[in-house]
Amino acid sequence: MTGASGLSPKYEHHVVGRFAPSPTGPLHFGSLVAAVGSYLFARRVGGRWLLRIDDLDTPRVVPCMADDMLRTLEHLGFRWDGEVVRQSSRFEAYRTALDRLIRQGDAYPCGCSRAEIARIASAPHAGDGSVIYPGLCREGLPEEKAPRAIRVRVPDEVIVFRDAVAGEYRQDLAAECGDFVVQRADGPFAYHLAVVVDDAEADVNQVVRGADLLDSTPRQIWLQRLLGFPEPAYAHLPLVTNPDGSKLSKRDNAVSLAAGLGRPGTGSALLIAALRFLGQSPPACLERAPCDEILTWGIAGFDPALIPGFQLR
């Protein structure tokens, strides 16, 4: 059963949502749709909306891109609560969580390289074509191997959750994922661990993002359980794709002041297009309205049940 926000009624009166772009390139129209969706899901019930910069993968971060994103969002009328959090300043928090997993026996060192795992012909493959880790180091690191990564043990059970857009989603972690990496061989903490720690510390209880992250959600739910964190409500929005059906990249349809967003009417047109992509019907009189006025209409009139693929429970 869902409430007015499209999410569980237990979240109705204390919603904390967030938008967490990665500064590896400018915002594109797909990321704008995620920003609009997360903003309206939270604001329409008087919730808080946080902004986090997911700059964990430092080698891929484009210098000054985070600041460009912040200026772009401000120009488009978004207003966030509290200070902007950057993952690059939170490594100590991730280390604390990882140490806890290791102490609990829920994580272990792995000495396998990707090439070694890929050579195991009998290893099953996940839906995305990647090889499921066969557990070579699960019972202890072989003497001839040095640790290359830290993996989390997954249970032989199905993780089930209800998504506000996709409906019920089920994944057998052992069969479809396998023990997954939470710290990579080259040092950085993995995305799954970082977002779980960040969301829990910020009291985020509503995660609205693109459908490309739907199949990673069971791994994050498993980490939340291991670390004793509450499970947020989830809504995975339909993806904006190229005409050939491929996922939109940050090279496509850049939404940035540097890419001409400052031209009169451009920001308003983009917000209207994002609302329509999400199944909403803003009136024609808003097409030339200021951005903040369009978002105000969205907060008052946003209906999650109109999102393509929305599953009402």
Domains, the chain, in order of start with CATH, read 9-91+191-306 (3.40.50.620)
Distance of CA 291 to the CA centre of its chain: 25
Asked if 242 and 266 touch (Cβ cutoff 8 Å), the reply is: no
What are the tens digits of pLDDT across the range 62-100? 999 999 999 999 999 999 999 999 999 999 999 999 999
Tokens of 17: 């949502």
Point out the residues that are catalytic. Answer: 250
Alpha-carbon dihedral angle through residues 21, 305, 241, 59, given to the nearest 10 degrees: 10
Distance (Å, rounded) from C-alpha 284 to C-alpha 262? Answer: 21
Report residues of the chain scoring pLDDT below 70.
1-13, 121-130, 243-253, 257-260, 310-313
| H/E segment holding residue 99 | helix 91-103
What are the tens digits of pLDDT across the range 159-195? 999 999 999 999 999 999 899 999 987 778 999 999 9
The pLDDT of residue 187 = 79
Closest to 147 (Cα-Cα) out of 109, 103, 114: 109
> Is 242 exposed, middle or buried (CB count within 10 Å of its CB: 0-12, 13-18, 19+)?
exposed
